[in-house]
Amino acid sequence: MNNEHKTRVAFTIATITTAAIISIIFTVRRRTRRKQLESSSNSCYSHSEQKPQCTFKRVLADNSYTPFKHLSFNASGSNDEKGSNLHPFEAEITALLTNNHQPEIELGAKKLEMNDSYVWVDTEMQLKELVDVLSNERFFGVDTEQHSLRSFLGFTGLVQISTQQDDYLIDTIALHDSMEILRPVFANPSICKVFHGADNDVLWLQRDFHIYIVNLFDTSKACEVLSKPQKSLAYLLETYCGVTTNKLLQREDWRQRPLSAEMVQYARTDAHYLLYIANCLIIELKQLDNENTCSDDKFHFVLEASRRSNMICLQLFTKEIEASPGESAALSLYSRHQSNQGSPSISDETQFLYTVRQLCTWRDLMARIHDESLKYVLSDQAIVALASQLPASHSKIYNTIVQTDVNAETGLTSFIPSPSPVVCSHLSDISQLLANELVKHGDIYSVILQKCLGQKGSCKLNIFNYALLVNSNLRPTLSYKHSSLKNPRQHSRKASRNLFVKKFSCKSPVYHNCRIFANDGRLLCYCDRKKLEWYLSRDLAKLVDEEPPAIMLLFEPKGRPEDEGNDFYIQSKKNICVGCGEGNHYLRYRIIPSCYRIHFPEHLKSHRSHDIVLLCVDCHEAAHAAAEKYKRKVASEFGIPLYVRRVIHPGQETEKLNDEGGVSPLQLRSAALALLNHGPRMPLNRREELTEIVKRYYGGREISEEDLESALQVGMRPIERRRYEKKRGVSFKHSTGNAAAVPEGENHADCAPRVSNVDTLNVDTLNGSYANEETRSGDNRQDDSGEPSLISDLAVDKATSNGNTILIKTTDDDEDDHDEAVNVDESLNRKQQNVVSDLSDSRDEESLRDEDSTQAKHHSKLSLLGHGPHGKQVVDHLLKEYGEDGVREFCQRWRQVFVDALKPRFLPGGWDVKHRI
């Protein structure tokens, strides 16, 4: 045979073999699939599959809805597994931060290159030996790899540790239950742990092993401080070590044993060079510090890198617990689908959203029960396809999923079987769900839990899911209490949170960090662009810097911030939540509740920027809850009740009058407003509920339309009342009595039931949990002169401003965004109305918009401010008894409440509970 012939024969054989193998694979697959299909409801794949994490004897983070418990130490110093939610090493880390800890890395003569030998650690004995080695080191490099496809929360598959001498690869699957041996070296403040981009690693180590890091040097933070063009490890490896690494390997399946040579190489590379790189970066940081010694600029590069690194250690792992499982996924899926022009239009949008939400809830629970990731259970695109096509039979469901996933297939997802074994084992759930038959009574949560893990459950009980069953009383209840999932019209709390973030959080950065300099070059304050433009347009200043812009005043300001010995106002402020550092969304939070502050004497109202901070929605809610609680404490301490007590209408007697009987003005007004506007068209029980609230205020007697109207005015400040009265003629023409005269857009027959769904208690919830402090009517801010805010901010003394004497009150940042603030407050009121309608039903977008604009026109001026006269009475009392110092102390108390509630870690430097004017 000549060579050509040989090749051809070989090729033919290869082709035939391949074809045979492929056809065998397909037959086998088809058979298994069919088997899975047939046996779907009785047995689950989880019985036959042994996943590596099933060998773990103890897991710290299971898949239940209980919060993660952090390591805690009881008084005797031994571990107390009950756990707390404080950082167990907060004191040690804070000590490093406050003592200006300096990282020291001195490298010996060991060659940088990576040789062939490394230590694979997979027995407890070896791990103990490693601990002995590490205890004698002053620094070591660390990296971790995790697996997340076949696990709900993910788990650490490998920990790499490199000393100057050796590279260790720790098999964290084999040693999962022994890893705690490493806790002491990681928490030892005299051993520096070098990571690159430790944010995730820190959390993963907590989650899986209760390992907390004290004394961290993060090379990516050092890059940040050095303003390196890039801060990826790949960049550092290349520039400092001349090593290239293939970052695609981070996506490998790190459960694999043995690891491929490539993976070993990758994993070692991630840790091996860290010490060398850290050393180079520290030298550069030190150089900058040395160059900087003469200036009085306080920036210290080495310290800053170390500080930023150790801040990472303060992060705590938390399980994301939704009030309604799968809800956020459903919302994001739904909105993505809506914004996707290419997607087929759906005839019944309400049914579609409902099904998407049910499928997301189902997926969330199934992922927890089977300890799989969401995307492994069922892809997003498959959920959309199922919800829009509503296939009925098992095989149609099956095909819909396969086809959608094949179409969407991108290189990597092809590793995920479609449909997943989870779907195959539980096809009947999906078909019932799509037919609206899964949840007939009870909620989807208990139905599925019973089906899967109950006494005759189809699925395997394991260490990750048993707590779901045990703690089923701890399941998320909020939205299920009213079995909202049965009612596609109601949004869950999570959904309202998302809406809230979308609608209320600041759309653009609040602090622009533009600078204003005095004419001698001293920095006066930071402010927004509008303010700069105001000065520039009046030739009161000249531009001295472009990005971020800075101006220099052309006149001598009367006051300087440093006069007051306070450098708070010249700190650059970050657009992040001061509580947790969240940077994606934030809203203003007023530390001193407005119900008090608005009654302060004018000169004590300044320094607002100190007491207005940015918070993410979650911190906002926590801070607000603490403030509400403290308000109650203030109420009892001063004997000034928070709520309007049940008021006895002239000539009426009440039967029972107890302390619980109060109605907040807000609640009262929301209820009255809804009754006036939508009363006749409301479902009866809703109307009764609202009527009950108003009746309670009137001491239980029957109420008339006039009562409703006067209830609207309860707790209004005079200015609001005047406005309301001015508006009244217009606003309530529609709503008083004449049901036919509803605003346009509500008049369509098909809108009526939806409109009737308006749920004023949502207003209350919103106000109660978020909006209250934000809801201020703009009265004292709106000046008729139309002059911009800066006037009041920099208080131009009108009499003398021509003579260039301008008094600078650099103190009042709140007024910085004066005109913005007016808009914010007003639009907030308007938005609030939007949210009311948004939350209360899910009518289609168009009628929603109509409704919004009508409502906005009607009520935009109606402020829904907290507790009637309480605030004023408290402030009056303080002033009378203790004078202005009483008010100052009162402010300090509120700052303390805020600090105690949030333990904020990102407050601007100079912020102080004791802050005085």
Chain residues binding ligand AMP by CB under 6 A are 143, 145-146, 148, 250-251, 254, 270
203 versus 907: smaller Cβ distance to ligand AMP = 203
Q: In angstroms, what is the minimal distance from the CB of 120 to ligand AMP?
A: 18
Our CB check for ligand AMP shows the closer of 271 and 668 to be 271
Q: Which of 62/143 has CB closer to Mn ion?
A: 143
Our CB check for Zn ion shows the closer of 420 and 425 to be: 425
Closer residue to Mn ion in complex, CB, 241/668: 241
- Residues 312, 216: contact at Cβ < 8 Å? yes
Which does residue 459 touch among Zn ion, ligand AMP, Mn ion, none (CB within 5 to 8 A, set by kind)? Zn ion
The DSSP secondary structure of 830-861, one letter per residue, reads HHHHHHHHHHH----HHHHHHHHHHHHHHHTT
CB nearer to Zn ion: give 44 or 385: 44
Q: Which is nearer to ligand AMP, 269 or 847 (CB)?
A: 269
| In the complex, minimum distance from the CB of residue 28 to Zn ion, in angstroms, rounded to a whole number | 22
Six-digit token string for 836? 């009311």
Q: Which helix (H) or strand (E) holds 674?
A: helix 665-678
Q: Tell me which of ligand AMP, Zn ion, Mn ion, none is bound by residue 420, counting a contact when its beta carbon lies within the kind-specific cut-off of 5 to 8 angstroms.
A: none
Residue 513 interacts, among Zn ion, ligand AMP, Mn ion, none and using kind-specific CB cut-offs from 5 to 8 Å, with none
Confirm or reject binding of residue 333 to Zn ion (CB under 5 A): no
Please report how close the Cβ of residue 310 comes to ligand AMP at its closest, in angstroms: 20
Q: Look up tokens 């096809």; give the residue.
A: 427
Q: What are phi and psi of 398, to 5 degrees?
A: -55, -50
Pick what 251 binds: Zn ion, Mn ion, ligand AMP, none; C-beta below 5 to 8 Å, kind-dependent: ligand AMP
Binding partner of 62, given Zn ion, Mn ion, ligand AMP, none, CB within 5-8 angstroms per partner class: none
Residue with tokens 């208080």: 795
Using CA atoms, how far residue 634 sits from 487, 596, 748, 897, 916, in Å, is: 40, 11, 49, 12, 21
Q: What is the smallest separation between the CB atom of 203 and ligand AMP, expressed in angstroms?
A: 11
Site for Zn ion in 419-438 (CB under 5 A): 425
Dig out the tokens for 99 from the structure.
């003592």
* Euclidean distance between CA atoms 365 and 422, whole angstroms: 11
- Please name the amino acid found at residue 681: R
Of these, 213, 223, 378, 459, which contacts Zn ion (CB under 5 A)? 459
Q: Please, what is the angle between helix 274-291 and helix 301-313, to 10°? A: 140
What is the binding site for Mn ion (CB under 5 A)? 143, 270
Q: Which of 749, 793, 776, 731 is nearest to 532 (CA)?
A: 793
| Other residues' Cβ atoms within 10 Å of the Cβ of residue 171 | 19
Structure tokens of 652?
Answer: 């009426």
Q: How many other CB atoms sit within 10 Å of the CB of residue 42?
A: 10
Q: Reduce the DSSP state of residue 262 to 3 states and report it.
A: helix
Q: Indicate whether 185 belongs to the interface with Zn ion (CB under 5 A).
A: no
Minimum distance of Mn ion from residue 249's CB (angstroms): 9
Binders in 273-332 for Zn ion, by CB under 5 A: none
For residues 278 and 194, is the Cβ–Cβ distance under 8 A?
yes
Minimal distance, residue 160 CB to ligand AMP, in Å = 9
- Which is closer to Mn ion, CB of 266 or CB of 596? 266
Minimum CB distance to Zn ion, residue 443 (Å)? 19
Nearest-approach distance from CB 126 to ligand AMP, in angstroms: 22
Q: Which is nearer to ligand AMP, 65 or 254 (CB)?
A: 254
| Binding status of residue 44 toward Zn ion by CB under 5 A | yes
842 binds, among ligand AMP, Mn ion, Zn ion, none (CB under 5 to 8 A by kind): none
Cβ of residue 279: shortest distance to Mn ion, in angstroms? 20
> From the CB of 248, what's the least distance to ligand AMP, in Å?
8
Given ligand AMP, Mn ion, Zn ion, none, residue 146, with its beta carbon under 5 to 8 Å by kind, binds ligand AMP
Gap between the Cα atoms of 34 and 823, Å rounded: 62
85/246 with CB nearer ligand AMP? 246
C-alpha pair distances (Å), 809 with each of 39, 555, 791, 803, 872: 76, 14, 10, 18, 26
Distances in Å between the alpha carbon of 805 and those of 525, 542, 788, 799, 801? 18, 18, 19, 9, 5
On whether the CB atoms of residues 40 and 49 are closer than 8 A, the answer is no
Contact between 448 and Zn ion per CB under 5 A: no
Report the interface residues with Zn ion, using CB under 5 A: 44, 425, 459
